[in-house]
Amino acid sequence: MYDKNNVFAKILRGEIPNKTVYSDDNVLAFYDVAPRARVHVLVIPRGEYTDIFDFTKNAPADVQLAFWNGVRNTVEKLGLRDNFRTVANTGRGAGQSVMHFHIHIMSDERFSEDF
């Protein structure tokens, strides 16, 4: 069940500050407070969805489309067209610590050496 007191809900309500990268009616993108890459940004829908399962099952199609458009707009704004990763940790077991659906966008020069 969605907890309205999670940290991203507080960011969306303006109760906690954030460094916004991109914002529109459906999406907010902001810098991760504890970056684990040269560029580390989180993209979240404004609606109340706990994780990728909840979002893809319960968000209306137009909201899902708007979210992915927001992800792309964020990537374009960051200038990362061909050098970024997306991660969606899902569930405590996988390290999800904030139960509001979010996509990590991470970019680091070293990525090209990892694979």
Nearer residue to ligand AMP within complex by CB, 65 or 94: 94
Structural contact between residues 32 and 21, judged by C-beta atoms closer than 8 angstroms: no
Whether 102 is a known active-site residue: answer: yes
* Site for ligand AMP, residues 67 to 106, rule: CB under 6 A: 89, 95-98
Residue found by looking up tokens 């609606």 in the block: 47
Largest Cα–Cα distance of the chain, in whole Å?
40
State the minimum distance, in angstroms, from the CB of residue 62 to ligand AMP. Answer: 25
* Site for ligand AMP, residues 17 to 46, rule: CB under 6 A: 18, 32-34, 42
Q: Per rule CB under 6 A, is residue 5 in the interface with ligand AMP?
A: no
Residue found by looking up tokens 């991660």 in the block: 87
Cβ burial of 31 (10 Å; 0-12, 13-18, 19+) is middle
State the minimum distance, in angstroms, from the CB of residue 27 to ligand AMP. Answer: 15
Q: Give catalytic residue positions.
A: 102
